[in-house]
Structure formats: C-alpha cells, structure tokens
C-alpha cells in the first residue's frame, strides 16, 4: 500500500510504500489532484514509480527531487517515454539528472544566456537516434513553459538519452564524444584539410573512432591485421593514424591495440580522397 507523503503538483507526488518503508516519486497525469498527505494512493499501471533511495552522478535522487521543479521531472519523463519509440530499452531513472539539467537550461534561456555545444555536429552523427528522440523536448518546453530551447541544449539532452539506452554513464558518453572530436581535429591539422561533415566518409570515420574508443576502454582486440598492407599502400595516412592512436592512448589512459592503426588509416585515406575530389 502507498500513502501520500507530499504532493508536488497535479501530476507528481512523493509516496511511501508502507510495506517496504521506502519513499517513491510517483509521476502520472492527475496523480496529485485533490490528494493530501497520509491519504492512501492507488497506484495504477499508468503511473511511473521511482525509488528515492537511488543516487545519480548529480547526487542522490532524494536531493534532486527536493530542489528541482516537478514540471521538469514531468518533461524529462515525457522525453524518455518518447525515446521508447526508437529504443528497445530505456532506463527511466535518468529522469532525475535529465530534469536537473533541463531546469538549469531553462534558467539559462530565461536569463538570455547563450550556451555553445562544441560537440553538437558530432552528437548528431554519433548519436543520431538519440538526438532525434531528444528533439521532442523543444515542443514540450514551448508548450509547458513557453521557452525556446536551442539545438546546442538539445544535444546535451541527447547525451542523457544515450545514457538511458546504454550502460554508459553520462560522463563516459561525453568523454567518448570529446575523444572523437579531438581525433577529428588532429586529423584535420595533420592533413591540412577541412573535412566536410556532410560526407559519407566523415560519417563512417566518426563512427569508426567512436567504436575504436570503446574498444580501447574495454581492451577488446581486433583480429584482422591490415597494418603491413596499409603502411605500404598509404604510408602518410598510416603515420597519421599511428600518431592519433598514440595520443588517444595517452588521453584515455589505456593502451591501443596496434591493429587499430591500419583500420583508422583506411578511414583517413577515404576522407583525404573525398576532400581532393571536392
């Protein structure tokens, strides 16, 4: 049985499971309407329950619920429900750090503070489905709070969705995006060429580096050795790839399988060819 401890608004309450003696956040349309503390709450399948005993990267769930306006919990949950249309599994506990982020984003918008997301273009490519799912937040914020959210902010919401649909923490997801961006920047500097983000080869290289970073972090080896062939056929791209892998190892604090060099060099060669063709 659940009893209401605190009504947050018409659509959210804090309730206590009297059998477990655990507090829960209960989200659902009209769940708090007309309710009062100590009143019994009938939990229906339409409601979403979250234990307040959990913790997140931004602190304990209980602390987040204390200071976050419940409207942002509702919006964050609506975003995650929308994400279920594109992903098989969504961890709704991400609702708390996402709501916390959305509240700060709303304050920035209200204060006319411009935020820049240097990873935006990379996020759109690396986490395409996550970004498409995150776009719903634009309509939700406009409808509920009459706020216009930028693409830069939507990019960060997409990172929360990625955390909700994978085993990666938000900090790990951002680390991956930063590592990929650094690799691309280094490749452009070493080749003295600006790579078109609209090209297919750029897209393929971005995703290759993303999974290469994951392999380095998990220490997963490659099986096919292409190094001799690539080093002979494309020596310049091979040398660039070797330097990139070396720098990546230092930044990630983990050794890179030397077989990664040949694969990365192939992508660098394709990108160079695209630039020359254009």
Phi, psi at 3, each rounded to 5°: -125, 140
Of 15, 20, 18, the C-alpha closest to 31 is 15
Q: What pLDDT shows up at residue 257?
A: 95
CA–CA separation, 89 vs 166, rounded Å?
8
CA–CA separation, 253 vs 251, rounded Å?
6
Mean pLDDT by 10 residues, the chain (278 residues): 93 92 92 92 91 73 89 96 94 92 94 88 92 97 95 95 88 86 91 83 88 91 94 96 94 93 93 66
Of 208, 181, 178, the C-alpha closest to 195 is 181
Neighbouring residues of 138: CB distance < 8 A, sequence distance ≥ 6: 148, 149, 154
CA–CA separation, 6 vs 19, rounded Å?
18
CA–CA separation, 77 vs 157, rounded Å?
12
Q: What pLDDT shows up at residue 37?
A: 93
Q: Report whether 73 contacts 79 (CB < 8 A).
A: no
Q: Report whether 87 contacts 129 (CB < 8 A).
A: yes
Q: What pLDDT shows up at residue 59?
A: 65
**Which position has the token pair 């249309």?**
85
Question: Between helices 136-145 and 70-83, what is the axis angle to 10°?
Answer: 150
Structural domains for the chain: 1-53 (2.30.24.10), 54-167 (1.10.1790.10), 171-277 (1.10.1790.10)
Q: What pLDDT shows up at residue 23?
A: 92
**Which position has the token pair 């997301």?**
117
Q: What pLDDT shows up at residue 55?
A: 67
Alpha helices in the chain, H assignment, sequence order: 61-67, 70-83, 95-110, 120-126, 128-134, 136-145, 151-165, 170-191, 200-218, 227-233, 235-252, 260-277
CA–CA separation, 217 vs 211, rounded Å?
10
Q: What pLDDT shows up at residue 170?
A: 81
Query: Which two tokens mark 142?
Result: 């406009």
Of 78, 69, 123, 79, the C-alpha closest to 100 is 69
């Amino acid at each position: 049985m659940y009893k209401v401890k605190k009504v947050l608004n018409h659509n959210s309450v804090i309730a206590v499971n009297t059998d477990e003696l655990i507090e829960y956040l209960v989200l659902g349309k009209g769940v708090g309407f007309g309710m009062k503390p100590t009143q019994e709450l009938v939990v229906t399948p339409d409601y979403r329950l979250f234990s307040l005993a959990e913790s997140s990267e931004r602190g304990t769930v209980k602390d987040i619920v204390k200071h976050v306006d419940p409207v942002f919990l509702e919006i964050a949950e609506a975003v995650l429900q929308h994400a279920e249309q594109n992903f098989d599994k969504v961890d709704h506990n991400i609702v708390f750090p996402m709501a916390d982020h959305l509240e700060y984003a709303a304050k920035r918008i209200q204060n006319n503070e411009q935020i820049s997301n240097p990873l935006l273009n990379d996020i759109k490519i690396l986490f395409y489905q996550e970004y498409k799912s995150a776009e719903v937040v634009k309509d939700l914020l406009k409808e509920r709070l009459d706020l216009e959210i930028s693409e830069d902010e939507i990019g960060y919401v997409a990172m929360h969705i990625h955390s909700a649909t994978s085993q990666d923490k938000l900090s790990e997801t951002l680390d991956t995006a930063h590592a990929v961006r650094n690799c691309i920047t280094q490749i452009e500097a070493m080749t003295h060429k600006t790579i078109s983000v609209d090209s297919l080869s750029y897209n393929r290289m971005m995703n290759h580096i993303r999974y290469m970073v994951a392999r380095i972090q998990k220490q997963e080896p490659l099986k096919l050795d292409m190094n001799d062939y690539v080093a002979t056929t494309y020596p310049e791209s091979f040398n660039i790839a070797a330097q990139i892998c070396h720098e990546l190892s230092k930044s990630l604090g983990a050794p890179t399988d030397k077989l990664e060099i040949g694969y990365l060099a192939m992508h660098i060669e394709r990108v160079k060819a695209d630039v020359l063709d254009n």
